[in-house]
Amino acid sequence: MPGTDTVAAAYVQPLLEAAGAHGIDGATLASAAGLPENGLSPLPATLPAATYVRLLDAGAMLAGDAHFGLHVGERVRMGTYSAYGLVLLSCASVGQALEQTARYEVLAHDLGRSSLRRDGDRFQYRWISHYPDASRHLVDSVFAGIRVCGDWLAGMPLPPGELAFAHDGGGEALLRHAGHRDEYVRVLGSLPRFNADANTATMDARVLDWPVPNADTSLYPLLRQHAEQLLAQRCSVDETGTGTGTGIEAQVQLAIAAGLRQGAVRLAGVAGELAMTPRTLQRKLGDAGTSFQAQLDQVRYRQACDYLRQPELSLVDIAFLLGYQEQSAFNHAFRAWAGTNPGAWRLQARLDARE
């Protein structure tokens, strides 16, 4: 959540490089963002995510670069994504790499949350920012980075996608200039639709099956195991509020919470994550006096309450993040959990916070 979110040093590096390309040194950038002059030297292992957002805006201002976010994203490399970048390099397909991005991006940054949905012959990548009031440079940098690394993984340029961004693209005055629009097309492959409801990229689903030509898939199990260990350390049950159980319950809750970032969660998928058969998982949960559905509901309810306290997230966004296809299904489930609808719960939570 904002306030406790962080960004890894490797993810900050492209921003420093983009600023450096304009002759802006670390001390000047730090001061402009409200940090001590030596705040970036040496670069800490992590920075608060809110500080990263301020650095991004400061860099854009000092550089006078209307596309600073795009140019930060252009400098992203697989190493920018820290430990999970190695996982991506071992993925067999573009689709598998995007799924791992949704699962492990928290290891690189807490700036937002990714999800991936396939619908027939199309798929949609969606990124919900934790800082929706930040400048457009944040969203631009994230999508530019994904584009650059996606092209690199595929070994060829990805086909132009249908892009939609929630920001205004810089406003009508800038968008009237062909050069301003052309820079979006050059970096992202197509001109986004601005002032949209969400930040999304939609493409032909066949792209998901494109192979990663130079992937060393033999390393995937080991690298993924390492990433899982890091994720467990970072997203411990107590820290995330995804559950308070022990043993099998805690393991299942962590797997469910991670799985929801990729969309729908199924018993078979969670069992596979825990290296057991669905029947074995059901038996273990039964021995603990619970069930898979009960654990799924518990995680969803706790996450729903967390999301409802974040005013920037709409009810549609929250339903999407919890793996529901329709907001109505989320409304029905939440009423069963809390005895009231999510809108009323959110209003009461705001009133309670003011007391």
Higher-confidence residue: 302 or 173? 173
Query: What pLDDT is attached to residue 222?
Result: 85
Q: Maximum distance among all alpha carbons in the chain? A: 65
Q: Express each pLDDT in 135-148 by its tens digit.
A: 999 999 999 999 99
Q: Are 161 and 147 in contact (CB under 8 A)?
A: no
Q: Three-state DSSP class for 267? A: helix
Q: Are 267 and 292 in contact (CB under 8 A)?
A: yes
Q: Mean pLDDT across the stretch 292-297?
A: 87
- The closest alpha carbon to 343, from 331, 328, 326, 355, belongs to 331
Residue 11's pLDDT band (boundaries 50, 70, 90)?
Answer: very high
Query: What pLDDT is attached to residue 255?
Result: 83
DSSP string, 284-307: HHHHTT--HHHHHHHHHHHHHHHH
Residue 240's pLDDT band (boundaries 50, 70, 90)?
Answer: very low
Q: Mean pLDDT across the stretch 281-288?
A: 85
pLDDT, the chain, mean: 87
Checking DSSP bridges between strand 112-119 and strand 46-48, what pairing results, if any? Answer: unpaired
Residue with tokens 């195991």: 225
Class of domain 6-209: alpha beta
Q: What is d(CA 173, CA 75) in angstroms, rounded to the nearest whole number?
A: 27
Strand ranges for 15-147 from DSSP E? 46-48, 112-119, 122-129
Q: Mean pLDDT across the stretch 149-158?
A: 94
Check if CATH label 3.40.250.10 holds for domain 235-355: no
Residue with tokens 């966004």: 317
Poorest-pLDDT segment among 115-124, 174-183, 275-284, 287-296: 287-296
pLDDT at 112 over 70: yes
The domain spans of the chain are: 6-209, 235-355
Residue 235's pLDDT band (boundaries 50, 70, 90)?
Answer: low
Q: Three-state DSSP class for 200? A: strand
pLDDT at 2 over 50: no
Q: Mean pLDDT across the stretch 328-332?
A: 91
Rg of the chain in Å (alpha carbons): 21
Query: What pLDDT is attached to residue 324?
Result: 86
Poorest-pLDDT segment among 32-46, 171-185, 206-220, 277-291: 277-291
Q: What is d(CA 225, CA 104) in angstroms, rounded to the nearest whole number?
A: 12
pLDDT at 286 over 90: no
Q: What is d(CA 232, CA 48) in angstroms, rounded to the nearest whole number?
A: 20
Q: Are 136 and 167 in contact (CB under 8 A)?
A: yes
Q: Mean pLDDT across the stretch 275-279?
A: 87
Query: What pLDDT is attached to residue 104?
Result: 87
Residue 120 is classified by DSSP as T
Poorest-pLDDT segment among 74-83, 234-243, 337-346: 234-243
Poorest-pLDDT segment among 50-54, 124-128, 262-266, 328-332: 262-266
Instruction: Say which residues have a Cβ less than 8 Å from residue 134's Cβ, sequence separation at least 6.
Output: 53, 56, 57
Percentage of the chain lying above the pLDDT 70 cut = 92
Q: Express each pLDDT in 196-232 by its tens digit.
A: 989 999 999 999 999 999 898 998 888 888 887 777 7
